[in-house]
Structure 1
Amino acid sequence: MLKLIFTENGLYIEKLDIGIDEFINTRVAIARCASQPIAIAISSASMLLPNGVPTLTELVMAINQEAMHQIAINLVDSDCVEVSIARGHWITSTPDAETGIFAVTLSDRIESALFKLWQFSMVLLPLSK
């Protein structure tokens, strides 16, 4: 399972070894214990990631070989691609929040490739400043 955390400061991705149902149930239990509101909806997510790096090729090959139609990759410019995931769970404190967690289960190969691509993008960030 991938956990994409959208914050005011950017995107963070974690690869978890639990199922999505267990993850959501835990989040609901934590919110209930903390008396905090929680909103969960089926949604989509998009992220900008670097173009022209080997890890992107690995992701594209995995998507094509597995006929995974849940993910689309679109060229934004010479430096970036937009990776869109069609269906996952958006978890926030309010339904209209712009920050929150997008949880999705994909194949292990695609999750690993997407996670590596995001890690690579984190290495590139200091170079672009």
Structure 2
Amino acid sequence: MLKLTYTEGSFYLEYLTQSPEEWVAQRVILAMRVGQILCVEPSTASFLLPVDLPGVDLLRDEVKRDDSKIITLCACDREYIEVTLRGSWLSDSSESVMGVFVTTINSAPNSGFASGVEFFLHKLWQEAQACASVMSE
């Protein structure tokens, strides 16, 4: 499962071995126990990856083989591609820009992704973050 946490100024991507259904159920129970409003709705989430990041071509190949349409890639410009994921959005209101997005991507059999597309996508995102922090220093 991939979990994207959106805050006011950024987001954080995590790879979790738990299923989205289990995670959402636990989150709903927590919200009920503390009396918090929780909206859960189908949605999409997007983020950018540098086109020249090692492994992006492998990701493109995997997305072409995937027929679930949970993940799509779109060229933004010469420097970045946009990764769009379909899943569930959890927040304290349906209008909130801060919240958590969860999804799961089933990798195709014999795709070469022993750990799955989710793990690979998380690693690419981590590499992109590391490159961005080195460039900003």
TM-score past 0.5 threshold:
yes
Matches within 5 A, 1:23-62: 23-62=23-62
Superposed CA deviations along residues 30-86 of structure 1, whole A, max 9, x for unmatched, are: 11112111010011111112211122122112212333422221111222111112x
- TM-score under structure 1 length normalisation: 0.90
Aligned counterparts of 2:68 and 2:54: Cα–Cα separation in 1: 19
Q: Which amino acid aligns with 1:65?
A: R
Runs of 4+ with deviation above 4 angstroms: none
Which amino acid in the other structure matches residue 111 of structure 1? E
| TM-score, normalised via structure 2 length | 0.85
Higher mean Cα deviation, 21-30 or 71-80?
71-80
Amino acid of the residue matched to residue 32 of structure 1? M
* Residue identity matched to 2:130: V
1:102-128, Cα deviation, whole Å (9 max, x unpaired): 100102522122111110111012233
Work out whether residues 53 and 128 of structure 2, in 8 Å CA contact, stay in contact via their aligned partners in 1: no
Percent of residue pairs bearing the same amino acid type: 30
The yes-or-no answer on 1:97 pairing with 2:96 is yes
Structure 2 gaps, min length 5: 108-115
The answer as to whether partners of 1:8 and 1:99 remain within 8 angstroms in 2 is yes
Deviates most, 1-10 or 36-45: 1-10
* CA root-mean-square deviation: 1.5
- Matched with 2:112 is none
Question: Which residue in 1 is equivalent to 2:122?
Answer: 115
Identify the residue that residue 131 of structure 2 maps to in structure 1.
Answer: 124
For the structure 1 residues 78 and 127, does the alpha-carbon distance in structure 2 shift closer, same or farther, using more than 3 Å as the test? Answer: farther
Provide the C-alpha distance between the structure 2 equivalents of 1:69 and 1:31, rounded to a whole number of angstroms.
31
Q: What are structure 1's unaligned runs of at least 5 residues?
A: none
Equivalence for 2:67: 67
